[in-house]
Chain A
Amino acid sequence: MASTPSADPENSDAAAARQVLSVRGLVVEIPTRAGVVRPVDGVSFDIAAGEILGVVGESGAGKSMTGAAVIGLIDPPGRIAGGAVWLDGARIDDLGPEALRRLRGKRIGMIFQDPLTALNPLLRIGDQLTETILTHLRVSPAEARARAVAALAEVGVPGAAQRIDSYPHAFSGGMRQRVVIALALAAEPDLVIADEPTTALDVSVQAQITALLRRLCRQRGAAVMLITHDMGVIAETADRVAVLYAGRLAEIGPVRGVIATPRHPYTAGLMAATPSATGPGARLRQIPGAMPRLDAIPQGCAFHPRCPHVMARCKTEAPPPFPTEGGAAACWLLAPQVAR
Chain B
Amino acid sequence: MRPPRTALGRMLDSDLGRSFRRSPLTVLAAVVALALILGAALAPLIAPADPHDPASLNLMNGFTPPMTPNAFTGEAFWLGTDDQGRDMASAILYGLRISLFVGVAAVALAMLIGVTLGLIAGYVGGWVDGVIMRVADIQLTFPAILVAMLIFGVAKGLTPPESRDQMAIWVLILSIGLSDWVQFARTVRASAMVEAQKDYVAAARLIGRSGAAIMLRHVAPNALGPVLVIATISLALAIIAEATLSFLGVGAPPTSPSLGTLIRIGQGYLFSGEWWILFFPALTLLALALAVNLLGDWLRDALNPRLR
Contact = CB atoms under 8 A, between A and B. Distances in A.
Interface of A: 71, 73, 101-102, 104-106, 108-110, 112-114, 117-123, 128, 131-132, 135-136, 166-167, 169-170, 180, 183, 187
Nearest to B207: A105
Nearest to B209: A135
Interface-central residue, B3, B200, B210, by most chain A CB under 10 Å: B200
The 9 closest A-B CB pairs, nearest first, are: A105-B208, A105-B207, A118-B199, A112-B199, A117-B198, A120-B200, A122-B221, A117-B199, A132-B207
Interface string B217-236: 11001100000000000000
B208 A104 contact: yes
Determine the main DSSP class of B at the interface with A.
Answer: helix
Contacts of A106: 208
Interface residues of B, number: 18
Contacts of A110: 202-203, 206
Nearest to B218: A120
A113 B207 contact: no
Nearest to A104: B206
B216 to A, nearest CB: 12
B7 A122 contact: yes
A120 B209 contact: no
Contacts of B217: 123, 131
B205 interface: yes
B222 A122 contact: yes
A279 B3 CA distance: 48
Given A110-B203, A135-B209, A167 B3 contact: yes
Contacts of B203: 110, 112, 118, 180, 183
A136 B206 CA distance: 11
Contacts of B3: 166-167, 169-170
B199 A136 contact: no
A17 B207 CA distance: 24
21 contacts: A71-B206, A73-B205, A101-B205, A102-B208, A105-B207, A105-B208, A108-B206, A109-B206, A112-B199, A112-B202, A112-B203, A117-B198, A119-B200, A120-B221, A122-B221, A131-B209, A132-B207, A136-B207, A136-B208, A170-B3, A183-B203
Contacts of A122: 7, 221-222
B208 A135 contact: yes
Nearest to A184: B203
Contacts of B205: 73, 101
Nearest to A195: B199
A114 B200 CA distance: 10
Nearest to B220: A122
A131 B202 CA distance: 14
Contact of B202 (A73, A128, A187): A73
Interface-central residue, A102, A104, A113, by most chain B CB under 10 Å: A104
B207 A187 contact: yes
B100 to A, nearest CB: 31
Contact of B206 (A73, A113, A119, A123): A73
